[in-house]
Structure formats: structure tokens, C-alpha cells
Structure 1
Amino acid sequence: MPDLTGDPNQHPPTDSLTGSCLCGSITVTINDSELFTKPRGHLCHCSNCRKVAGSYVSSNLLIEAEKVDIQDRDGTLKTYEDRATGSGNPVFRSFCSVDGNPVKSETGAYPGKVILKMGMMPRIPQPEMEGFGLHRHAWQGKHEGITMYEVKWAGPDRKPME
């Protein structure tokens, strides 16, 4: 029987967090003293993030690249250049080529930062916002205390939903 690591209560909040893809080839470690001290990250409802997550929402964390260590033990990390974006600017989506696990995204809109796909982590910080709220399904519940934006969650054209 495999060692089940999905219970976040088995992983207390610390300044360092490590997760891996399903096959274990890729490990991601976040080193950030504020990782669990306040709400961080965002839930994204855009169709591309939903596709990458394989779910109705994607849990992401935008963070400085120097706070992230990605190890690719078997050379399985591959990148897809996603040009089907609302802005027309590419998003580089990295994943494990063996098990398909999403790892991170990068875009020129956030130089020096990466967007980590938090589903690979054993504990996920409480999100501070939701993006593409107009794309949410009517049956989804509301998250108390989390600001929801109509479309983008960052940038000059962001607009909170009422």
C-alpha cells in the first residue's frame, strides 16, 4: 500500500513546503517565511487553468522564482507554450511528461515570478483571491473572505465582483 500523503493535517505549516509529481521525478520546494502567515495565492476559473488542473478550478501561487527550487531527477519536466490566452501573450505551462502532473506556469506579465500549481503540494495556503469569477459554475460554493475578480486577478484591468 502506498504512503498516503493527502491529509494536510499531517503537514504542519512551516517556512518550507515540498511537493512532487505523481511519479516522483519532479519535486518542488517553496522556501518562504510568509507562506502560511496570511492568505496567499489564488483560485483561477479560466478555461486554460481548469484544463491544466483537470478540475473546475486551479489552485495557484504566484511567487518569486528565487523562493522556489525545482528538481527534475529524471528529466521529465516539459513545457507547453500556451498562446490561446485572453491577452494573446503566451503562458509557458510546465508539467511532468511521464504522469502529466502540472508543475508551474510562467508569463512575461510577471518577470522573475512563477505560478506554482498547488495541487502537487501536501498543504495549500488559504487563497487570497479568485480570478475569472465570471467563469465560475453556478453550483460552486462561495469562499468567505476571498476577493473575487470578474476576469483577471492582477493587473490594471482587474475589477472585483460585487
Structure 2
Amino acid sequence: MQHSIVVMGVAGCGKSSLAAALAQAEGVRLVEGDDFHSPQSRDKMSRGIALTDEDRQGWLATLGTLLQQPGGPVVLTCSALKRRYREQLRAAAPGLRFAFLEIGRAESLARVAARAGSHFFSASLVDSQFATLESPVGEPGVLRLDALLPIPQLQQRCSQWLHEEA
């Protein structure tokens, strides 16, 4: 794996699960984007208040800095819902790839609701995620994946793609 990759998509699509499997398979560092949200942003999301572009600005800058750290490529989880968010990350890490986990609203909502006791993200925000999403399909360096496929299958497809793209 020559380039870092962002595993992206709306809440509940499986970003963390795929990213962990991919990082392990590729022997690279995993960066969980949610770990870098500010306490204020986490509080907003837990109360069902959608983040604004302003809320996300510092978070995206931090993730860009993490992508630039020495030590080789990383697998990063980040919703990256808008094209300009993806462009900001691409500017920080030329050659950056994106694995887009595509999922429907009903399945996303069910998954987010199922993890309610263990994650700060409120299920009431799922609709705002879909409203904000600007599909990356057609952008360079993007692999579109069906989020309902089993994680091992998604990881294998992603690894194959990363090595084809090298």
C-alpha cells in the first residue's frame, strides 16, 4: 500500500469495522477520525445537533496533519461527506484514496440505533448525514463499496484495489 486511504460514508456504514480490517491486512496504522472530534462537537452530536462546516474545520485540519505524519500510509476513518472536505484531505496527502461505503437510510438508521449505548452519535442525525452527503462517485481515487457486504469481502476488495492502483 503506497498511499493512505480514507474509509468514508454516512454514520453506520461500517467505516470503523472496514478500516480496522484493512489496516490489519495491510500492516499499516489505523487512525479513527472520531477520536479527534472536539469535546464540543461530541456533545453536539450526542444531543442530536448536526455539525456545521465551521465545527468540522478544525477536525479536518487535524486529520490532514495526521495524514502527513511520517511512518508511511495510514487507514483513516472520516465521514468526508462533502467534496470540499475530501479536497482538504487530498491537499494534505497527495495520492490519497477513498473507500466509499454506500448504504441506504434505513440500514444506516438501524445500525446507528443498535450502537446507541456505546457511541456518542445520535440516531436522530442520520437524516442530516444523508442531506449533507455529496457522493464521491466519479471523483478520482474513489472505490465505491456496498456497505451491506461482509467486512472480509469488503477488505479483500479494497486491498485488491489499492494494489491495482499502486
Does the pair score TM above 0.5? no
Query: Which structure is higher in strand share?
Result: 1
Structure with bigger gyration radius: 1
TM-score by length of 1: 0.25
